[in-house]
Structure 1
Amino acid sequence: MAPETKKRRVPSFRYLKRLGSGLVKGLAVTTVHLGRRPITRVYPEAKAYSPERFRGIHNLVADECIVCQACARICPTQCFTIVGHRGPDRRFILEQFDIDYNRCMFCNLCVEVCPPKCLTMGNEFEVGVNDRVNLVFHVDALKVER
């Protein structure tokens, strides 16, 4: 008895027809979008658009801060370090105001609870550092003028 030989299966014409029609449809979609201008921005050259209520790095008007520490109390990650005292003229003097951006989750609760509204969220979001210690921002880095 002769060993059975397996029949080689040749792809059917219908299979090739389906494969060809899918390829043609894909190329048609590609050619439609080929002439359009790109929607994406090239990042380093064109800065990203940030909406009005964007939550970026905090801004602080240090002269208006009354050292109530409401922002430190409400912060879920406890990323604030605030130290201050009353001066001889009974005004509050801010000595230390640090935000640890290793822990901050930009929830905006600190801005909402600030009574004198001296703490706001800015548009800056590009913070690239080589060491985690450099992500602790002190009052000088956060200070803005009103």
Structure 2
Amino acid sequence: MRVGQGFTLVELLVVLCVVGLLSGMVFPNIKRYSEGLAFRFDRARVLHSLDSLSERVYRAGAGIKLVTPESADMLYKDGAPVLALPPDWQLTILTPVIMEFNGLCGGGSLQLKAPDGTVSQIRLKAPDCRAEVVE
């Protein structure tokens, strides 16, 4: 056995091919997984905005009427939009949501459409308008 003997060119090429094949099989799965995480994060952010809407109304002391999708984009008294949606997400209001100045509401229902076409039905339960996804 000789000291200082390295790898041959063929051995290095075989290792590079194996690494390339493995990364070619793994990369699409990682990309799909990260896109799924981004979708779930955006959806959770919208649901959290809906859940915290009652508290925002109570703190500001002014009611909100969500009757059209444009009413969700309007700025509220605290300077933020009533409901901040991620880019390319669409909101349809099926049943109007009316929140009183004290944070109480009579419920309502919304439809949330993601950029990939996934549609979620969201029901707001009275009296505090907690968001519940209806599958």
TM-score (ref. length: structure 1): 0.33
Looking at secondary structure, tell me which structure has more helix per residue. 2
Looking at secondary structure, tell me which structure has more strand per residue. 2
Larger RCO (CA under 8 A, 6+ residues apart): 1
